[in-house]
């Protein structure tokens, strides 16, 4: 989500500096587009189950479903999975930005799309009609999703309950509407990453989950050099603000003192809330970290994620997750 926001300042400045010829070229050029695969995904129980898991790992509900932010971590509102939402203006996005309805509804969703068109949209950022998807949809990361996993994800999407909910197309402001044409790229063949290679598998999981996007602070529209996974990125919602945590191995300000079991327990402790309902939220507890989703991941995959994070450069960076929050004093 934040990766796109980081480029806005740079994009605006870059276009101003271009001459008329260069600007004209940017206006008329087309994004890289490959034809969709001619494929029909086999709807096996195993593939659907894996697709559900990938849907959870990729946190698709986070952007495509109506969520109740009056409760901790904004749980899914029943009956609204995948219907698409318009993002609040407080996020500072370039224009009116909305996610698509990804349910199988034929009229307002993707029920009329082929499986190949769905795969292309997920990994390459090209809609059925050949237009670009706004890069808040993290297809630049999903480009690394294996062929088998993206087919599984499509299989699960095909099982969603159709929701008739029309979402108006995003209207991306100039110049971002022009400069984002570099984002779509053909994915080609992507082989699987096997769990036996723990570091590569952990990296694959972290990439799919988008940890670096939220946990890396930006400055003037670009990720700050040397601050990967060190937290400090601000997320502004109506009446709420949260700052991402440092998840580098720094022992003072990151997760350097956490054991593998500490890390796994931190995620799994939210399973009861995911199953029975999360408590009411407040300015102090507001979060966009998908605890309710990630707590459903397999413990062994959480260990792989932890293992990969431990290989990253430790960065000393103290973060206040809820700056300006002042607890109400209790009367004596």
Domain spans, the chain: 2-182, 198-310
Rounded to whole angstroms, how far apart are CA atoms 122 and 151? Answer: 10
DSSP 98: B
Contact, 196 vs 205, CB < 8 A? Answer: no
CA angle 180, 185, 188 (to 5 degrees): 165
- Residue 188 class from Cβ within 10 Å (0-12 exposed, 13-18 middle, 19+ buried)? exposed
Q: What is the pLDDT along the chain (332 residues), one digit of tens a residue?
A: 444 444 443 444 444 455 555 555 556 678 899 999 999 999 999 999 999 999 999 999 999 999 999 999 999 999 999 999 999 988 888 999 999 999 999 999 999 999 999 999 999 999 999 999 999 999 999 999 999 999 999 999 999 999 999 999 999 999 999 989 999 999 999 999 999 999 999 999 999 999 999 999 988 667 899 999 999 999 988 888 999 999 999 999 999 999 999 999 999 999 999 999 999 998 889 999 999 999 999 999 999 999 999 999 999 999 999 987 655 444 43
Q: Where are the alpha helices (DSSP H) in the chain?
A: 2-6, 8-17, 20-28, 45-57, 61-64, 115-124, 139-142, 147-157, 176-179, 198-209, 211-214, 260-268, 271-276, 291-294, 299-310
Rounded to whole angstroms, how far apart are CA atoms 173 and 170? Answer: 9
* Contacts for 45 with CB less than 8 Å, ≥ 6 apart: none
Give pLDDT, residue 19.
53
Q: Which helix (H) or strand (E) holds 223?
A: strand 222-223
Rounded to whole angstroms, how far apart are CA atoms 153 and 53? Answer: 8
0.85 surpassed by pTM: yes
Give pLDDT, residue 7.
42
DSSP 224: P
* Contacts for 326 with CB less than 8 Å, ≥ 6 apart: none
């Amino acid at each position: 989500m934040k990766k796109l926001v980081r480029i806005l300042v740079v994009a605006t400045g870059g276009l101003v500096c271009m001459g008329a010829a260069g600007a004209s070229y940017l206006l008329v050029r087309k994004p890289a587009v490959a034809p969709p695969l001619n494929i029909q995904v086999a709807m096996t129980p195993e593939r659907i189950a894996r697709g559900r898991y990938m849907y959870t790992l990729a946190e698709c509900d986070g952007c495509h479903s109506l969520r109740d932010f009056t409760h901790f971590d904004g749980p899914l509102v029943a009956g609204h999975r995948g219907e698409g939402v318009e993002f609040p203006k407080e996020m500072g996005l370039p224009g009116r930005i909305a996610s698509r309805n990804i349910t199988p509804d034929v009229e307002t969703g993707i029920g009329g799309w082929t499986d190949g068109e769905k795969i292309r949209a997920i990994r390459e950022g090209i809609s059925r009609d050949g237009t670009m998807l706004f890069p808040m949809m993290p297809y630049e990361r999903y480009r690394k999703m294996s062929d088998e996993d993206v087919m599984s994800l499509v299989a699960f999407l095909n099982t969603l309950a159709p929701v008739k909910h029309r979402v108006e197309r995003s209207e991306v402001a100039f110049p971002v509407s022009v400069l984002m044409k570099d984002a779509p790229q053909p994915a080609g063949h992507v082989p699987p990453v096997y769990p036996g290679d723990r570091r590569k598998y952990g990296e694959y999981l972290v990439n799919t989950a988008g940890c670096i996007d939220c946990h890396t602070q930006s400055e003037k529209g670009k990720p700050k050099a040397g601050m990967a996974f060190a937290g400090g990125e601000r997320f502004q919602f109506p009446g709420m603000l949260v700052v991402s945590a440092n998840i580098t191995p720094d022992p003072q300000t990151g997760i350097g003192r956490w054991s593998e079991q500490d890390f796994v327990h931190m995620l799994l402790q939210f399973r009861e809330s995911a199953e029975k309902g999360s408590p009411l939220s407040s300015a102090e507890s507001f979060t966009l970290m998908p605890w309710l989703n990630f707590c459903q991941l397999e413990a062994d995959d959480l260990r792989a994620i932890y293992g990969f994070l431990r290989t990253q450069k430790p960065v000393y960076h103290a973060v206040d997750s809820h700056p300006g929050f002042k607890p109400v004093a209790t009367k004596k």
